[in-house]
Chains A and B, each alone.
Chain A
Amino acid sequence: MPTIALSQVRKTYPGSSTDAVRSLDLEIADGEFMCLLGPSGCGKTTTLRMIAGLENLSAGELRIGDRVVDSAVEATFVPPEDRKLGLVFQSYALWPHLTIERNTDFGLRLRKVPKAERIKRTDDVMRALGIEQYRDRYPSQLSGGQQQRVALARMLAVSPGVLLLDEPLSNLDARLRLEMRAELKRIHGKFGTTIVFVTHDQWEAMTLATTIAVMNDGVIQQMGTPDDIYERPANRFVAEFVGSPPINLIEQNANTPIAAAIASYLDGRLHDVGAVALTGIRPEAIVLHTDAKDVPQDSFNLRAVIEGVLPTGGSWIVEVRAGGQLLFMTTHVAPTLSAGDDVTMVVEPAAFHLFDTDGQRMLNADKALGHSAG
């Protein structure tokens, strides 16, 4: 199945002064599981709807395979019904007046698939998703998770090459969500479908995607594998948005002891990389030592005081104050510490994320700090 390519795509809704999406470049390869991740209002759903053809572009070009399906310059617009995609809505949008079976075989009937084959394909997909026992029920008689499966089955029945999913799991409870994630991953493997998945939930994106595109303000901030995104955030926004508890950010220009300590630590290791404006340290990269003798040689270390210990069930979040700033760290080992204890916090050099004055990642610093290449 073809690649989806958006180039220089802009979308402004009528009557709105700001762009929902601006100059978006995005390529989705065949068989990819692509997540569009971002806060609400970042333009991810708009992007999905433009791919589906439910919104048109204000500028730019959208191709599916070798075919331009939407371009203002070429005055081309292929309507959604001719794009042969699948789309699952956040609200599922099942047709309330049709049974589960009729919901599922709607697309096959439209395509005038011969009856025998239609029945077979409908049965297959309903069985695959475990909804065959509900075939004669109506959507309102099903639970949220079951409705979700029907919404998926409805689209999978016509085996589209591309499946678009708009936050399909956000209305499910935690357990069902986990199950459906596994289900989606299975479908992706089994049907070989290209999947474009919109979500604001970073765990969902991390666990499902082969590629994540992080969006904000109508612009793609970073595109890469889940590891890329987490380990090498391209800019301040991505660093802050991905990760929970969030990354610890230290403003190097703020006149704090911690900023000075980091600056002097980095000084010896970095040469000619430019001014560092911001340093980020992931919570799990901080290690606490009660005995200063245990502190490894080459690492960054700083005296710190415990402010609080918050159990989260199986792991702990520890708040420490170091060099005038409150930092979060996480640990999976039960801490023996309590508020008020003095400790030394230790960070490996490779765990530092450096950003320049524009908030962009300083790539030339990564090597010097021992970051593995992306």
Chain B
Amino acid sequence: MRVETPLALPDDKPSFTQAMRYKMKLTMREPTTAVGFVVAIIFAYLILLPVLSILLDAVKVQLGDARRIGGEVGDGTLYYLHRTFLSPVAQNFFWGPLKNTLSVALGAILLSFLIGTPLAWLLSRTDMFARRWFATALIVPYMLPSWTFALAWTTLFKNRTVGGQQGWLEAMGMTPPDWMSYGQFPITIILSLHYAPFIILLLGNGLRRLDSQLEDSARILGATRGQIAVQVLLPLMRPALFSAALLIFAKCLGDFGVTYVLGLPVQFDVLATSLYRSIGSRQTGVAGVLAGSIMAMGIVALLIDAYVVREARRFVTVGSKGSMDRKSQLKKWRIPATGFAAFIFIISVGLPVLTLTLSTIMFVPAKFTLDNFTLQYWIGTDLETVAMRTGILLAPDMWSAAWNTLRIVGSAAVSAGFLGLLVGYVVVRTPFRPLSTFLRHVTFLPYLVPGIAFAAAYLSLFAVSHGPVPALYGTTAILILALTADQMPYASRAGISAMMQLGKEPEEAAQVAGAGWVRRMRSIVIPIQKRSLVTGVLLPFISGIKGLSLFVMLAVPSTDVLTTYSLRLIDYNYTQAANAVVLIIAAVAYFGTLLAQRLTNTNLAEGLGG
């Protein structure tokens, strides 16, 4: 039997309209693309629109400036660009804060390298004592909100420049100088301690995966340890180091809380606080320029990072059997090395947490006598203060703030988690590529926008009613929306990677068995992804509970959450109560991270680094 094998294309090629009708039919058959479009519209509204509106504010005449600039509100203008970059006040708005931002960021990068590099090596390649324990313990600073450390710092070093309860040193009769209490010095130290875990994680992973045969070969050829480090290890680790540095830089750009607490008393502004200030003083146009500048720097940093990572992939050395877990013997250095790790742990976790804890159970700072200790700030009643007459655990305001936090951050985390999985599903499954690309990028955008700027955009967009959307200012809805959008980078990345790993086949099997789309989602996709969905909810929850900048802008007393409540307490100098609230937040963030880690069986802190 012989079969003809015609090589020409069949004659009955469908006409253009037939082809289009067929294509439409295929597209509409599966709701994936339709769902994708709905999600895309939601994010265009929740993310793209706010970001664009901030950027547009920078080049449009704002309310109240019409007379000064000349022109109608909404006209195009270069006034704000000029004002921010070139005018006599530009120094205050932009150049000064820029210089501070850069020097803080660079200082933080340097210092965290000094701390992180040896620790990464000790943790991954040596026989230091208690390595496993330290591997988790040294990551803890990143699990806690960065401004917790700022509060601990003020508790210790606050001097007479600012009123209110004294710092411990001041109380003991030593007045620390201003440079030590506020501004660049403490901010740099705190940020480097906070971000050193990045180095430990990224560099540690690199070192762990490194093929030890590479080192062995060098040693056989007669290289000393130092030569190996400089000529073999360092070049191979360069991409990881660079990547860590850029990530720290991008994070420092947007960090608001630490400078807010420690910079204010000495008028030390970074770009994020300058942005906050200009929004506070209703200089919307300048705020737009500042936000745009921060975003531009963040984008450049991440583009460079993406480029470096891609370049690095070219000479990836996949660990063979040589990547076995071989440890250097520290010998007589074993105890000093462990001491170093312990020291870093103590100053980056132990001391701040202990300070904050002690400060909540002492009447007067730094007076270590038994009669000075009390639990009344936690559980007391009938205190002698004007307000806050009960301990924090008995204060109805605290519980309402806690409930608000749970409600607001919880709803935002749940919606972010589900949206993230949905985004992951559409990105991986839709045959319509542009949709997938758009969703991937738009959900990542908030990562580059400082929270303050994002919140400001939400204020200006949703403060008044637009079409069917009512005015949302002062409602929990605006907080939930903003927070959801803000958490999408984490949620969508979790969703995408989970869907990538799932593969098409389990779903196709269900499809062949007769299950329609809804049924497949309900019976196959979501149950299989249960775990990653939990992570996708938990991660935004942890990050949201620590979040400060969004709430600072958008919360009003009736929608107080724990973070804003603690700031309010600081403003009224209820230091003990404020610190107690901060401790509660830190505890929730820490145990939440541990829980997520347990659930996913992975080291979650690695995921947070990205």
Q: Does B173 contact A (CB under 8 A)?
A: no
- Of all chain B residues, the one with the shortest Cβ separation from A110 is B514
Bound CA–CA A110/B511 (angstroms): 11
Q: Does B437 contact A (CB under 8 A)?
A: no
- Of all chain A residues, the one with the shortest Cβ separation from B516 is A81
CB of B162, distance to nearest CB on chain A (Å)? 57
Q: How many residues of A contact B (CB 8 A)?
A: 55
Whether the Cβ atoms of B431 and A14 lie closer than 8 Å is yes
CB of B505, distance to nearest CB on chain A (Å)? 4
Interface residues of A in 1-32 (CB under 8 A from B): 8, 10, 14, 22-23, 25
Whether the Cβ atoms of A81 and B505 lie closer than 8 Å is no
With A8-B10, A72-B19, A107-B514 as contacts: A93 and B506 at CB distance below 8 Å: yes
- Choose, from A53-61, A296-304, A322-330, A338-346, the stretch at the interface: A53-61
Bound CA–CA A240/B237 (angstroms): 51
Bound CA–CA A206/B76 (angstroms): 77
| Chain B hits for A54, CB < 8 A | 508, 511-512
Whether the Cβ atoms of B13 and A59 lie closer than 8 Å is yes
Bound CA–CA A72/B515 (angstroms): 24
Q: Does B524 contact A (CB under 8 A)?
A: yes
Q: Among the listed A8, A73, A77, A80, which residue makes an inter-chain contact with B511, where contact means beta carbons less than 8 Å apart? A: A80
| Chain B hits for A72, CB < 8 A | 14, 18-19, 22
Q: Does A89 contact B (CB under 8 A)?
A: yes
CB of A49, distance to nearest CB on chain B (Å)? 8
| Chain B hits for A87, CB < 8 A | 508-509, 512
Whether the Cβ atoms of B10 and A107 lie closer than 8 Å is no
CB of B152, distance to nearest CB on chain A (Å)? 45
Q: Does B370 contact A (CB under 8 A)?
A: no
Q: How many residues of B contact A (CB 8 A)?
A: 39
Bound CA–CA A220/B21 (angstroms): 29
Bound CA–CA A91/B6 (angstroms): 34
Whether the Cβ atoms of A77 and B12 lie closer than 8 Å is no
CB of B323, distance to nearest CB on chain A (Å)? 27
Most chain B C-beta atoms within 10 Å of own C-beta, residue among A86, A93, A98: A93
Whether the Cβ atoms of A222 and B2 lie closer than 8 Å is yes
Whether the Cβ atoms of A23 and B9 lie closer than 8 Å is yes
Bound CA–CA A89/B513 (angstroms): 12
| Chain B hits for A234, CB < 8 A | 1-3
Q: Does A95 contact B (CB under 8 A)?
A: yes
Q: Does B318 contact A (CB under 8 A)?
A: no
Q: Among the listed A10, A60, A79, which residue makes an inter-chain contact with B29, where contact means beta carbons less than 8 Å apart? A: A79
Interface residues of B in 454-472 (CB under 8 A from A): none
Q: Does B557 contact A (CB under 8 A)?
A: no
| Closest A-B pairs by Cβ, 9 of them | A93-B505, A8-B10, A107-B513, A75-B21, A72-B14, A87-B512, A93-B509, A75-B22, A97-B527
Chain B interfacial positions (CB closer than 8 Å to A) = 1-3, 5-10, 12-14, 18-19, 21-22, 25-26, 29-30, 431, 503, 505-506, 508-516, 519, 523-524, 527-528, 530
Question: With A80-B508, A224-B1 given, can you name 4 additional A-B contacts, CB distance below 8 Å?
Answer: A96-B528, A110-B514, A223-B3, A374-B1
What are some 20 contacts across the A-B interface (CB < 8 A)? A23-B7, A52-B512, A53-B512, A59-B13, A72-B18, A73-B12, A73-B14, A76-B25, A79-B511, A80-B512, A82-B514, A83-B512, A91-B505, A96-B528, A97-B528, A106-B510, A107-B513, A107-B514, A110-B514, A158-B513
